[in-house]
Structure 1
Amino acid sequence: MLKTYEEKRNNIKDEVLLIGNSVVEALETSLKTLKSDDVSALKEIDLSVKKLSNKSNEIDNLIVTALALYSPEAKDLREMVSFLKITNELIRAASNVKGFIKIFRKAYSDDLNTSTILEFTIPLHKSALLSLRTAMSMIEETNDNHTEEKYGRVMVEDSKADDLYAMVEKNILKLITKNLELSKEYFDVLSSLRRLARTSDRASSIASLALFAQVGGDITQS
């Protein structure tokens, strides 16, 4: 392809990575606050879904322009199509992370069984973070074997996140039956954790798109 296309391609990839890394950083920071049991610090995390959405629209316009001007073929075309879809998945992931941070912080209090909540929340959070971080690293991967290996890792973490959510859901429902007066708070915590699990789902979709861009095949998204 022409050098100008390569420049546009690299610019588009960098912008996609910028959005993804913003979401990963928010997850990293929120995990640290949970590990230190300083949930109030979640309010300090700055993750603007609106700004990221505007950036995503800019990227989509760059992609459409590149497709119109250069008519890329084969792998280059797959990559552009993947980027177009990945930006949407990243905004959904950002919305889920933002929702988790906001709802969890407001619902979490010493009145709840915090030890049980954190027992499952922290490993669930780790899986969501690892799955998204690994999926984003696939965008920069050039080795087919490494891409497939990373895809497998994302699928494992996504499955683990689903299992952990099912476990925490079961335990929180038990806590609700014993503390009906705190049912709203427990349900809100559960709602926030569902958003974490969905973040892992979005990472799975991003990994599928990155795999498609690198090695071809069918696009599979959850």
Structure 2
Amino acid sequence: MLKPYEENLQKIREEIYGIGEEIIYANKISLSALKENDLSMLKDVTLSIKNLSIKTNEIDNLIVKTLALYSPEAKDLREMVSYLKITNEMLRAGANSKIFVKTFRQSFTNDLDKHSILEYAIPLLKASNSAFEIAVSLLKETDDKAIEAGFRKVSVEESKTDDLYAIIGKNTLKLISKNIELSKDYFDVLSSLRRLEKTADRAASIANLILFARVGGEIEQAK
């Protein structure tokens, strides 16, 4: 039987993982919508930031309560502090996913050059989703080397999103120069895609926090 502290720690991990799964599910729907060029599918993204906020607050309260009651040792304290930061990163990732869906649906009109946008938007969303999914999976990983390898994989995917977004930015400016009256729609699309890059940043931060929790080292400054 697990001790009370260990029970709380296990519950905290599971609750954070559950939030991650909700966001991953929403992101997969978004990717399918872009691949099939069917934005009506985005209506199935029911991610609620209010509900995520309530859940993360409950986890934070449990973390604080556990810290107060059980006075964990240095390693355990490091892990609990990391989880306290991870809940915030999860909430920010969820907000990015939700805003992407809302803004992209509104701005991706038939007047735009959809092919030119989707050519790089789909790989961007795919890399962003991959980074986040790998990061969330590390919550259930117990092997230090596997966590370090996972962190490197997340970093690679996050770097891809930076490169892809830069390409999209340049292409969007070219499209605007050809059709200036659609500049607002193009900029809104670009703004929505920026949220995907930000989600990958959150994934990198989560992976770094998990690495810090289990292995130690330094917490890298999130973007």
* 1:65-144 pair list within 5 angstroms: 65-144=65-144
Alignment: residue pair count: 221
Shift of 1:41: 1.7
State the partner residue of 1:187. Answer: 187
TM-score by length of 2: 0.97
Looking at structure 1, the residues matched to 24 and 79 of structure 2 have their Cα atoms a distance apart, in angstroms, of 22
Looking at structure 1, the residues matched to 145 and 41 of structure 2 have their Cα atoms a distance apart, in angstroms, of 40
Identity between Structure 1 and Structure 2 (%): 57
Shift of 1:77: 1.3
Looking at structure 2, the residues matched to 199 and 54 of structure 1 have their Cα atoms a distance apart, in angstroms, of 20
Which amino acid is 1:124 matched to?
A: L
Shift of 1:44: 2.1
Q: Any idea what SS the aligned residue of 2:81 has?
A: helix
Which amino acid is 2:186 matched to?
A: Y
Q: Any idea what SS the aligned residue of 1:111 has?
A: coil
Contact map agreement 2:135 2:204 (CA 8 A) in 1:
yes
Contact map agreement 1:43 1:102 (CA 8 A) in 2:
no
Post-superposition CA distance 1:157-187 (Å, at most 9, x none): 1111000000001001110010111111100
Looking at structure 2, the residues matched to 214 and 32 of structure 1 have their Cα atoms a distance apart, in angstroms, of 34
Q: Any idea what SS the aligned residue of 1:184 has?
A: helix
Which amino acid is 1:178 matched to?
A: K
Shift of 1:39: 1.2
Which amino acid is 1:217 matched to?
A: G
Looking at structure 2, the residues matched to 28 and 210 of structure 1 have their Cα atoms a distance apart, in angstroms, of 23
TM-score by length of 1: 0.98
CA distance 1:221–1:137, change in 2 (3 Å):
farther
Where structure 1 has 5 or more consecutive residues not aligned to the other structure, the ranges are: none
Which amino acid is 1:142 matched to?
A: T
- Runs (4+) of structure 1 exceeding 4 A deviation are none
Shift of 1:74: 2.7
Where structure 2 has 5 or more consecutive residues not aligned to the other structure, the ranges are: none
Shift of 1:33: 1.1
Contact map agreement 2:131 2:153 (CA 8 A) in 1:
yes
